[in-house]
Amino acid sequence: MSLAYEIVGVVFALLNLMSAYGKLARTEQFVDIMPTIGVPLRALPYLAACQIAGAVGLVIGIWWAPIGIAAAVGFVAYFLGALAAHLRKSDFKNLRGALLMFVLAVAVLTLRILAA
C-alpha cells in the first residue's frame, strides 16, 4: 500500500504544483473562472500557497505519515470548497476539474491512512 500512496501522492502533488503555478502566473484559465464562481483574484496567491504547502506535505508524508494525512485532509477540504464554489454558482462547465481533484484527494487520503 505504501508504494501506491507514493505514486498517487507524488502525482497528485505535481498536479497541485502545476495548478499553483497557474494561479501565481495568473493564467487565463484561472483569471476567467475565479470571478465567475465568486473567488476574487486577490485570493489566487493564498490558494496557490495552500496547494504548495499541501504538495510538500504529501511528499514529506511518504516518510512521516501524520504530515501526509494532514496534507491529504487539507486537500479534501480545499477541493470540497472548490466543488461548493462551482455548484453555488451553477458552474457545471468547470466542475469536472474540481470533481476530479476532489476524488484524487480522497484517494490519496485513503491510501495514506491504509499505508500508515
The lowest-confidence range among 3-12, 28-37, 43-52, 79-88 is 28-37
pLDDT confidence of residue 1: 63
Q: How big is the CA angle at 108 (ends 93 and 100), to the nearest 5 degrees?
A: 10
pLDDT confidence of residue 13: 98
**Per the structure, how many domains does the chain have?**
1
8 CA to centre of own chain = 13
Per the CB < 8 A criterion, the answer to whether 6 and 112 are in contact is no
C-alpha cell at 10: 507524488
C-alpha cell at 101: 481533484
Per the CB < 8 A criterion, the answer to whether 57 and 12 are in contact is no
Domain carrying residue 37: 2-115
pLDDT in tens, 13-30: 999 999 999 999 999 988
R_g of the chain computed on alpha carbons: 14
Check pLDDT > 70 for residue 71. Answer: yes
Alpha helices in the chain (DSSP H): 2-24, 28-36, 44-60, 65-88, 95-115
Q: Which of 105, 115, 114, 97 is nearest to 73 (CA)?
A: 105
pLDDT confidence of residue 116: 81
pLDDT confidence of residue 8: 97
